[in-house]
A and B are shown apart, each in its own frame.
Chain A
Amino acid sequence: MNLSRFFKPKFFQDILKKLLGKNKTLKIGFYGHPNSGKTTLANRMTTDWIGKPIGTVSQVPHETRKVYRQEHVTVKDEGVELNFDIIDTPGIATKIDYTNFLEFGLSESEAKERAKEATKGIIEAIKWLDDVTGVLLVIDATEDPLTQANITIMGNLEARNIPFIIVANKIDLEDAAPEKIDSVFPQHTVVSISALNGDNTKLLYRKMVDKFK
């Protein structure tokens, strides 16, 4: 389905104006496990808002191994220039087993190199927690949401008073259970979407305005 038929550019411009309604750079970090769909969602947003994707996606875990920042999304509103940045971070994990990459056809040396790069990416993602002003915590709705990585991310966001939305992603998949994410995090804002096909992203943008404005 071509969503552009339904979501006209003005809708996204309005969202941006509301998001950028204050005189500071809003930096929204995309956090979550490897392969939860952070870059797919970031691509969905940047394509909707500025007409181009931010990064490459892959079935192989840890495809994003360094932080990608989409800046210079600039809006001039009554003479005030404001910037909106998207910070797409590598997936956070407590362990990396290079042999898992072999299943995706990588050679042993490629797999080891990917594992080494992934460790650096995770460190970089954690460091960015000090700089983001809002977060989308992307959780694969087909997986158990109560993992140490998710708990650590949420705990750090709460400790730093950084507002965040939990994005229950991949609801297009048959075994997705977004209601489980709702039930284990009742105190937080949870939005169920499919970043891949755009289901419910309009609702997510509205929630972002409410949460981050």
Chain B
Amino acid sequence: MRHNQMDTETNGQNGEITGLKMDFLSSSALESSTSMEKVSMIVDRVKKGDLVVIEGGLTPEEEAELIETTMREIDVENFMGIDIYTVEKDKTSFFGLSRKKTVGMTIIGPANVMKEVKKKSNFISMIANMGDSDASLH
């Protein structure tokens, strides 16, 4: 599977997160994967504390499967779930007559890491929490 990784250390000696690892995956990196493979890959990485950035979006069925798989993997003390955010882009039709919004990229990370997010439809800014878990319930 082709993808890029943006460093760094994820775990110190005492198990605390000392850096944030971000994985960027192009749409072509996922096109040969089944929905189950995509979801498993995302949950495996996020559960380890990684942030996953995907070009494009998941299908509604994949989103539901992602939530379902996340619920199965939640460990109330160590893994409290995920946050998902999308950034949209305009897509022009073949004849250029109409525009509609599509998902340009999807950001998925551990709920206790994605501390504060400011979002517009085509812009996202996030502060990662590298210490204690303090994510809120939504």
Which residues from chain A sit less than 8 Å from chain B, CB to CB? 33-34, 61, 92-98, 100, 112, 115-116, 119-120, 122-123, 126-127, 129, 147-149, 151-152, 155-156, 158-159
Residue numbers in B under 8 Å from A120 (CB-CB): 71
Minimal beta-carbon separation of A6 from chain B (angstroms) = 37
In whole angstroms, what is the CA distance A96 to B77 when docked?
10
What interface size band does chain B fall in? 20 to 34
B59 touches A93 (CB 8 A): no
Tell me if B111 and A152 are in contact (CB < 8 A): no
**Interface residues of B: mostly helix, strand, loop or mixed?**
mixed
26 A–B pairs (Cβ distance < 8 Å), ordered by A = A33-B138, A92-B67, A94-B111, A95-B70, A96-B74, A96-B76, A96-B81, A96-B137, A119-B71, A119-B74, A122-B67, A122-B68, A123-B68, A123-B72, A126-B68, A127-B68, A147-B138, A148-B83, A148-B84, A149-B138, A151-B63, A152-B63, A155-B59, A156-B60, A158-B60, A159-B61
**Bound CA span A159–B61, Å:** 8
Task: Tell me the interface secondary structure of chain A in the complex.
Answer: helix
- Nearest first, the 8 closest Cβ-Cβ pairs linking A and B are A95-B81, A155-B60, A95-B111, A119-B71, A152-B63, A148-B84, A100-B137, A156-B60
Chain B 96-115 per-residue mask, 1 if CB under 8 angstroms from chain A, else 0: 00000000000000011000
* A-binding residues in B (CB < 8 A): 59-61, 63-64, 67-68, 70-72, 74, 76-77, 80-86, 111-112, 133, 135-138
**Chain A hits for B86, CB < 8 A:** 148, 151
Other-chain residue from B61, B70, B137 in contact with A156 (beta carbon distance below 8 A): B61
